[in-house]
Structure 1
């Protein structure tokens, strides 16, 4: 809304980086959660396409609509991460054209720093999720007599254990992952 108000004030917008900075600082952390779970979104989509003929038919029909520009559904799942990387490029270009030492340069530099950190965290989380997936896959393949090997996911921490004939659980919402 702030951007629309700024356009209403003057069609020539002198600075948007202050708005980006404010939103990036307070609201862009959702990108991290979204990107972290992207692998699961893709798996769920693939499973639904394979196992649910009605879902498959509806999605194919939707993809043919002019609003979708014949783009596959998967391309829409990528849009949020593409958007934040485009915002970073926008800020970099604004920074190149902003007067040194000005308030605009300060806003652009701060916004670039915050957005860059969010992108780095997104990339880090994608790596962590891939490692977690790998760990779960490997642990499901390991078999031992008289012991249970497991992996627990608890908030952002991965635990693994080997216990004689026991399954670990806790009251914190952590527990074994098959």
Structure 2
């Protein structure tokens, strides 16, 4: 119906003077389907993946369908995400119309109303998708954790969600020298927005809780590869570089001022890459990016879509524009201009915008949308 109304307006006059009224009407009265569709996107993708992994006939039939010329060689997922892509583009379209309309004309008021309405819809879509994903995730984790002798607490809460999780190597200090623990000693961290849980992985679906601390009682810092976390900065331990397991190990230290037993506890962890180290440290730190002046920061355009695999990653569509806040080891951390969402994504899916006029225009649009779409 939305397209029919636009087409009818075009037939009335090839030079369309006004579409804001159509956008506002359909956004306010007929676009609830977008919210439902976007909210269930996570289940849709999971069901598709489950069928591809378990149903050979489904997989073969899908491959045949995708091979026809009408599909343009694109996978089914590229069609399933089209509604999400289209609805998130509408605020940018309406913002462009606002900029091309004289502020003293009646059409400008209609355009700003439509912009606010469609921005509110997109926000509701994003919140719906996020809520459904978080709720399912929390229920799953709740069933996988075994607190054992550690004092437990109710994990599921409407105000709690997962920020990051993953398996890390544990380092201990022995004879004054930090070294990698042999025997594959490791821990699995669950980092939520208000609590950090340290576990030992028993299987893909079972974790034994070893300790936890509220996030406001947690500090984190990087550890240089040639110094002990307990030694003065810059002072090597044992007279040699560390760790001995190789230069590809990147360390950071977590300090729990008050753990599950109300005591001070420290743990030194290792990642295999500098980007993983940076991502864990950033996730454990308070976010101060709102204080950063975006005008001097680089920007990139997304040339290849990216689907997030961790909660701290940013899902991106082709042609999205992102302000880069941090760059580490082949990964960017950035803020998406169209909705200000932040997260990490591979450098390989982006191309830097070198035109300074375009960069400045994007910054202005970002700030303008913050004000005009404050819903």
* Short-chain TM bin: 0.7 to 0.9
Alpha-carbon displacement from aligned partner over 1:101-140 (angstroms, at most 9, x marks no partner): 3221111111110111111112222221232122111222
1:131 corresponds, among 117, 131, 134, to: 134
Which stretch shifts more, 134-143 or 52-61? Answer: 134-143
> Does residue 1:72 correspond to 2:75, yes or no?
yes
- Normalised by the length of structure 1, the TM-score is 0.76
Structure 2 residue aligned with 1:22: 25
2:39 corresponds, among 33, 36, 39, to: 36
Structure 1 residue aligned with 2:5: 2
Structure 1 residue aligned with 2:93: 90
Q: Secondary structure at the match of 1:12?
A: coil
Which stretch shifts more, 126-135 or 71-80? Answer: 126-135
Query: What CA distance in whole angstroms lies between the structure 2 residues aligned with 1:121 and 1:29?
Result: 10
Structure showing the higher helix proportion among its residues: 1
Structure 1: gaps of 5 or more residues: 152-156, 159-178
> Does residue 1:140 correspond to 2:143, yes or no?
yes
**2:138–2:155: 8 Å Cα contact kept in structure 1?**
no
Query: What CA distance in whole angstroms lies between the structure 2 residues aligned with 1:78 and 1:103?
Result: 35
Query: What CA distance in whole angstroms lies between the structure 2 residues aligned with 1:107 and 1:5?
Result: 19
Query: What CA distance in whole angstroms lies between the structure 1 residues aligned with 2:13 and 2:141?
Result: 58
1:47 corresponds, among 36, 50, 61, to: 50
Alpha-carbon displacement from aligned partner over 1:5-58 (angstroms, at most 9, x marks no partner): 211111111011111111111111221111111010001001111121121111
**2:39–2:128: 8 Å Cα contact kept in structure 1?**
yes
How does 1:142-157 map onto structure 2 within 5 Å? 142=145
Structure showing the higher strand proportion among its residues: 2
RMSD: 2.2
Structure 1 residue aligned with 2:256: none
Query: What CA distance in whole angstroms lies between the structure 2 residues aligned with 1:116 and 1:5?
Result: 25
Q: Which protein shows a greater Rg?
A: 2
Taking CA–CA contacts closer than 8 Å with sequence separation of 6 or more, which of the two structures ends up with the larger relative contact order?
Answer: 1
Structure 2 residue aligned with 1:100: 103
Q: Secondary structure at the match of 1:99?
A: coil
